[in-house]
A and B are shown apart, each in its own frame.
Chain A
């Protein structure tokens, strides 16, 4: 198991390197001028000197190596220095946002928890809804419950998240006035009342993403349950006189969950994409909103780092799913 995990981890490194190279190349080849935002009064000669001082006259592989060095060595050291693990070193460079002048990593560290909370809760909600729905739909195949469930899940992943979000705001914030439409990140949980407020402001963003997840997962859950229900081992279990509940919930459900894990892993990029949209709708100040702000302000260092962070999160989630897969299904580990 440990071997498998280590091998999988090693495989993630070239993937991340390639992704970082694509992102670097994309921003490097883009036809825009990094000195374009400076005042018009600066003469062209000075502009050239500014470009040289920014290191833009170096060949591309050197700039990429410097960027990698900055990203994988300097920035982690900076974070550790902030936590007091290593000594502060004022010579160590920091990637700074062009718009806010603060280090990009600080901005990201500040905003990651909100995004991870919303995305994580959305997965929990999605799985909690999808698994029972898929199991009952498959068990009562062609019943009205199955037909309703299939229709609702079809609607769930056809309706774009930005529409579900706005419709929920119209219903629950505008007409009913039950839930706040704006997520207040400065809110601190101190007692039960403030905890309740936190729950209330999280309901809508989490539900928007959660319902999208649930509709995707439940389709695969149902298909996988149907595959397993017609297998011989189910008949054997029934013939042995096992209770229907045991057959369904222990034998079939456990086997059906295995392919569903892969689906969940493949959903991760979509959900992070969805998180960008939900954060925009509910004004959650997470990574997605930061990315949109960066893009609107053409803040290249911020955008570059954030895109890469999203890639890291996706690769990491895929890794997690693969390892989970290997734990659930011993046939997967061929070592």
Chain B
């Protein structure tokens, strides 16, 4: 008898676990029905894998100069051909991808931190709302690309001197992209915080005497994670595009330490004879950005409770 009861309780417990639906489970269920997002995830995963593991499989050094094998087309030894100095384009695209991805992800993180901080402060503290939002509007009215170019022109040499040519330009590019792309995140986060602040659970937390730092970190912040995640994905895409645009204008990374944008810039000179030299890195940028944008689209749908229910 006791056994039987124990069994039934076990069964109900088991069923309850089976039926248990977590928020992230629901989000995943919705995300996986978005065809574009799934294809995007797979392609983005493949590109990341290729960039991380590729250099170990395709072992040609991207800066190795083999002048006798210059300007070659695609072959088994050089899947994307070689450039005017005989450097292997495939190896360059792989190592350039590492830098491009690293810039994209770090710049996105920086802009998220700034955006979330300003958004939370502006949304939560009424006194800061006005000034911080005016500040955000001001940044939205700035001519960003010209300013980025000017900042890089002015501070490039100093940073290179202090941190070495590669780290210096990396810090500079990440920093300038980060501080010029946080505005959308800040606005979205502020809107959400304004709405959350009036909810009952925040009132409850306040009434038991929780201090403001804890309310923000324990009650507000977990609830604004979804818009932050969407901004994060879209932020990677725009950071990669901005970095490649800077490199394309000749003001990003140097050509012995190339990124995808720099490879396009170097290839444009030979556009009429060897268009493939522009197309391969260009294709890499476009595919990455396209797949990240699709992932962002899917994530936005999946995290929106109004759509997820259906």
Could you list which residues of chain A lie within 8 angstroms of chain B, going by C-beta atoms?
15, 18-19, 22-23, 26-27, 30-32, 151, 154-155, 157-163, 166-167, 169-170, 174, 266, 269, 272-273, 276-277, 280-281, 291-292, 295-296, 298, 303, 306-307, 310-311, 313-315, 318
Q: Which residues of B contact A160 (CB under 8 A)?
A: 241, 244-245, 248, 282, 285-286, 289
Whether B142 and A163, one on each chain, are in contact in the complex, defined by CB atoms closer than 8 angstroms, is no
Whether B290 and A298, one on each chain, are in contact in the complex, defined by CB atoms closer than 8 angstroms, is no
- Least Cβ–Cβ distance between B300 and chain A, in angstroms: 12
Whether A277 and B248, one on each chain, are in contact in the complex, defined by CB atoms closer than 8 angstroms, is yes
Whether A314 and B150, one on each chain, are in contact in the complex, defined by CB atoms closer than 8 angstroms, is no
Whether B143 and A311, one on each chain, are in contact in the complex, defined by CB atoms closer than 8 angstroms, is yes
CB contact under 8 A between A170 and B285, given known A277-B248, A291-B149, A314-B141: no
CA distance A112 to B279 in the complex (A): 32
CA distance A292 to B141 in the complex (A): 21
CA distance A169 to B275 in the complex (A): 10
How many A-B residue pairs lie within 8 Å, measured between CB atoms?
A: 130
* The residue from B150, B278, B289 contacting A303, defined by CB atoms under 8 A apart: B150
CB contact under 8 A between A166 and B141, given known A158-B237, A160-B245, A295-B149: no
B147 and chain A: residue at smallest CB distance: A307
Whether A154 and B143, one on each chain, are in contact in the complex, defined by CB atoms closer than 8 angstroms, is no
CA distance A32 to B138 in the complex (A): 27
**B276-287 interface bits toward A, Cβ cutoff 8 Å, 1 = contact, 0 = none:** 001100100110
B264 at the interface (CB under 8 A from A): yes
Q: Classify the interface of chain B: helix, strand, loop or mixed.
A: helix
Q: Which residues of A contact B249 (CB under 8 A)?
A: 276-277, 280, 292
Whether A163 and B150, one on each chain, are in contact in the complex, defined by CB atoms closer than 8 angstroms, is no
Binds A, one of B63-71, B153-161, B166-174: B153-161
CA distance A52 to B241 in the complex (A): 43
CA distance A241 to B147 in the complex (A): 55
CB contact under 8 A between A170 and B153, given known A154-B293, A163-B282, A273-B145: no
Whether B286 and A163, one on each chain, are in contact in the complex, defined by CB atoms closer than 8 angstroms, is yes
* The residue from B145, B151, B261, B290 contacting A26, defined by CB atoms under 8 A apart: B151
Q: Which 3 A-B pairs have the closest CB atoms?
A: A273-B145, A310-B143, A30-B154
- Least Cβ–Cβ distance between A160 and chain B, in angstroms: 5
- Least Cβ–Cβ distance between B135 and chain A, in angstroms: 9
CA distance A313 to B141 in the complex (A): 10
Q: Which residues of A contact B261 (CB under 8 A)?
A: 162
- Least Cβ–Cβ distance between A203 and chain B, in angstroms: 18
Q: Which residues of B contact A159 (CB under 8 A)?
A: 282, 286, 289-290
CB contact under 8 A between A31 and B141, given known A277-B249, A291-B149, A307-B147: no
CB contact under 8 A between A291 and B146, given known A160-B241, A160-B286: yes
Q: Which residues of B contact A27 (CB under 8 A)?
A: 150, 154
Q: Which residues of B contact A277 (CB under 8 A)?
A: 245, 248-249
CB contact under 8 A between A269 and B286, given known A19-B138, A27-B154, A170-B275: no
Q: Which residues of A contact B205 (CB under 8 A)?
A: none
Q: Which residues of B contact A163 (CB under 8 A)?
A: 264, 278, 282, 285-286
Whether A26 and B154, one on each chain, are in contact in the complex, defined by CB atoms closer than 8 angstroms, is yes
A-B contact pairs, 7 of them (CB 8 A): A31-B155, A155-B286, A163-B286, A170-B279, A276-B249, A292-B249, A295-B153
A-B contacts besides A23-B150, A269-B141, 20 pairs, CB < 8 Å: A19-B141, A19-B142, A27-B154, A154-B290, A154-B293, A154-B297, A155-B286, A158-B289, A160-B244, A160-B248, A162-B248, A162-B264, A170-B275, A170-B278, A266-B140, A273-B145, A291-B146, A295-B149, A295-B150, A303-B153
Q: Which residues of B contact A280 (CB under 8 A)?
A: 248-249
Q: Which residues of A contact B237 (CB under 8 A)?
A: 158
* The residue from A30, A157, A269 contacting B143, defined by CB atoms under 8 A apart: A269
Q: Which residues of A contact B151 (CB under 8 A)?
A: 26
